[in-house]
Chain A
Amino acid sequence: MEKNTVVRLSRICKSFGSENVLNNIDLEIKDDQFVTLLGPSGCGKTTTLRIIAGFETPDSGEVYFDGKVINDIPPYRRSVNTVFQKYALFPNLNVYENVAFGLRVKKASDREISEKVREMLRLVNLQGFEKRDVSTLSGGQQQRVAIARALIMQPRVLLLDEPLGALDLKLRKDMQIELKNIRKKTGISFVYVTHDQEEALSMSDTVVVMNDGVIQQIGAPIDIYNEPANAYVADFIGESNILDGVMERDLQVRFAGRSFECVDRGFMTDEPVDVVVRPEDVDVVAPEKGMLTGTVTEVTFMGVHYEVIVEIRGFKWMIQTTDYVSPGQFIGIFIEPDAIHVMKKSEYSDMFGDYSSYSNELDQLSENTEEEGRE
């Protein structure tokens, strides 16, 4: 059965001053769906969420709710609710009153309120916390209150703005599972904003990858990972070796100085393309058996596997393997046809190269600056 579309964004543009934050965004959110907006800070994902909530008005384009344009409907008359980044719990109210807030505004009866609040607190596992001051709660507990406070309104769509960003890793993992369960139990559509690709892949039905105010790709997590639409998505989601190639004909692509059998078709003859090979899809073999050969320059132990950097014809590949190789070793690599993914050239084609500047430290540094960049 085809699900109903609840929210639809059509050709949404938004700029703050001279800065274009959103550029022609088209997006559909259906009933009973977990949609994640994924992208780096400043990509426009939070603005998209705020437009759905009604805190921002688009400069052009329409927001539809149940088929009706709601551009001019203020937030307090929309059937969507939000879980804010830093929870935004009301400091002057206790847990019970925070959760009851929306119903109180609606002037629901005390009995209805007490029933629903109890139900919600049970849903988020916070029974017994009714009288607690919200400032005495831990981050994870505040998070739960924020979710209960929004869900009690029984919205058609729940908007979550990086809700797990402030929690530590262990708690974040637990909450991810819990959020998925809550969503299944309630059947409410979630629109979830995050910059954490793992979170996006593991939780959602649909991932929307955004960058520079443009949607790069919409798809199921597995498709986003296996069939990235362009070099940007390939680089942002997981690790990838992105090489310049030429499509010689259907099912045959040439890169790294030789032709490979592949599973892609539908390109023009000799069309320049980007070729993506995921590090875990590369097998390490003896040099004489290898499709390509090169010298190992760096080996990092990662727990489950080793991360190996191999220089092949001046391009540094990343390979994830469980077999130990040592730096300086001459090895061959083997790639299955279905491990080769061919993409059309895009504006991002030359921005992501090999792993020559790769190091763990750099990775961490860039992550930190991203944290600071967010508000």
Chain B
Amino acid sequence: MKKASRIYLVLLFGFLYAPLLVMILISFNGGESTAHMTGFSLRWYREMFKDAATLQAFKNTLTLSISAASASTVLGTLAAVGIDRMKSARLRSIILSVTNIPMMNPDIVTGISLMLLFVFAASLIGYSTVLSFWTLLIAHITFCLPYVILSVLPKLRQMDRSLPEAAMDLGCTPMQSFFRIELPFIGPGILTGFIMAFTLSFDDFVISNFTSGAGFETLTIHIFAMIKKSVKPDIYALSTLIFAAVLLLLLLYNLLGGREEDMAL
């Protein structure tokens, strides 16, 4: 039994990591081709750092994801607090259902529906297009919001209702109680929400594809445009670096998180 499950997991992880392995191997390939290995080299890493368009796209993506994640975290945390305090259960469920639409809807529908809105807005103010960094940002905030709300709300629900009462009992105004007691309590949920928003935004292609303008290219859009012609291995080099960074961050997050848990015990 034990052996069977071990083999099973090896196959599973083999499947999930095969393309990543291929990607990493090709990034160190000396040749031009993405199909044949001709020997180890760091050539594509050097090329990547010289490729202005790719670097610009990477920078753009970072700018966008950090902005979108920050904005949706603030907006979403506020929303979660407001929803949590809401007296009417009906209103709450309506708002939550609407919030969940971008999560349940296929990305492509979210993308084109926003695109149609932007197209209409452009025609309204007489521009040929409004698609730009700002439309992209709006789209990203919109699809990140439900994830932030859904990671903060459970934390608020988990909180003992007496905690804010105790704070007020000891002299805090509702605002002070929120910042001193409730915010630290829901902090981990907010952080999770931010990280989710950041990764979703960083990785998004489908929605960006419909809502970005000519002037602002994200990494995924850059890659998509490139793939239509032919892929240069320097993209693999960049992806490998991103993979390494993510791996490192995840490990760090887990190590730190693990220590916190130990302390709680």
**Which residues of A are at the interface with B, using a C-beta cutoff of 8 A?**
53-55, 74-77, 81-82, 84-86, 88-92, 101-102, 105-106, 133, 135, 149-150, 153
Min Cβ gap A198→B in Å is 26
- Say whether B171 contacts A76, CB under 8 Å: yes
- Say whether B172 contacts A53, CB under 8 Å: no
Cβ contact of B170, chosen from A74, A85, A92, A101, cutoff 8 A: A101
Does B169 interact with chain A (Cβ within 8 Å)? yes
Residues from chain B with Cβ under 8 Å of A101 in the complex: 167, 170, 180
Q: How far is the CA of A76 from the CA of B178 in the complex (A)?
A: 13
- Say whether A75 contacts B165, CB under 8 Å: yes
Q: How far is the CA of A102 from the CA of B170 in the complex (A)?
A: 5
- Say whether B162 contacts A85, CB under 8 Å: yes
Residues from chain B with Cβ under 8 Å of A91 in the complex: 185
- Say whether A90 contacts B163, CB under 8 Å: yes
Residues from chain B with Cβ under 8 Å of A150 in the complex: 169-170
Does B14 interact with chain A (Cβ within 8 Å)? no
Most chain B Cβ neighbours within 10 Å, of A82, A105, A150: A105
Does B166 interact with chain A (Cβ within 8 Å)? yes
Does B18 interact with chain A (Cβ within 8 Å)? no
**Which residues of B are at the interface with A, using a C-beta cutoff of 8 A?**
160, 162-163, 165-173, 176, 180-181, 184-185, 187, 263-264
Nearest residue (CB) in A for B169 is A82
Which 4 interchain pairs have the tightest Cβ spacing? A88-B162, A102-B170, A92-B184, A88-B166
- Say whether A84 contacts B166, CB under 8 Å: yes
- Say whether A86 contacts B162, CB under 8 Å: yes
Most chain B Cβ neighbours within 10 Å, of A55, A82, A88, A135: A88
Min Cβ gap A222→B in Å is 33
Residues from chain A with Cβ under 8 Å of B172 in the complex: 76, 105
Residues from chain A with Cβ under 8 Å of B169 in the complex: 53, 75-76, 81-82, 150
- Say whether A105 contacts B162, CB under 8 Å: no
- Say whether A135 contacts B170, CB under 8 Å: no
Cβ contact of A88, chosen from B163, B171, B184, B187, cutoff 8 A: B163
- Say whether A149 contacts B170, CB under 8 Å: yes
- Say whether A153 contacts B171, CB under 8 Å: yes
Q: How far is the CA of A160 from the CA of B109 in the complex (A)?
A: 56
Q: How far is the CA of A17 from the CA of B190 in the complex (A)?
A: 34
Nearest residue (CB) in A for B162 is A88
Min Cβ gap B115→A in Å is 44
Nearest residue (CB) in B for A152 is B170
Min Cβ gap B121→A in Å is 44
Residues from chain A with Cβ under 8 Å of B185 in the complex: 91-92
Can you pick out 9 interface pairs between chain A and chain B where the beta carbons lie within 8 Å of each other? A55-B168, A76-B168, A76-B173, A77-B171, A81-B170, A85-B162, A86-B160, A90-B166, A101-B167
- Say whether B181 contacts A84, CB under 8 Å: no
Min Cβ gap B163→A in Å is 5
Min Cβ gap B99→A in Å is 28
Min Cβ gap A56→B in Å is 11
Residues from chain A with Cβ under 8 Å of B173 in the complex: 74, 76
* Given A84-B162, A86-B162, A90-B181, A105-B171 contact (CB < 8 Å): yes
Residues from chain A with Cβ under 8 Å of B163 in the complex: 88, 90
Residues from chain B with Cβ under 8 Å of A149 in the complex: 166, 170
Residues from chain A with Cβ under 8 Å of B162 in the complex: 84-86, 88
Known contacts A92-B187, A153-B170; 14 further A-B pairs (Cβ under 8 A): A53-B165, A54-B168, A74-B168, A75-B169, A76-B168, A76-B172, A84-B165, A85-B162, A88-B160, A90-B167, A90-B181, A101-B180, A105-B172, A135-B264
Min Cβ gap B190→A in Å is 13
Residues from chain A with Cβ under 8 Å of B165 in the complex: 53, 55, 75, 82, 84, 88
Min Cβ gap A145→B in Å is 11
Q: How far is the CA of A102 from the CA of B185 in the complex (A)?
A: 18
- Say whether B264 contacts A82, CB under 8 Å: no
Residues from chain A with Cβ under 8 Å of B181 in the complex: 90, 92
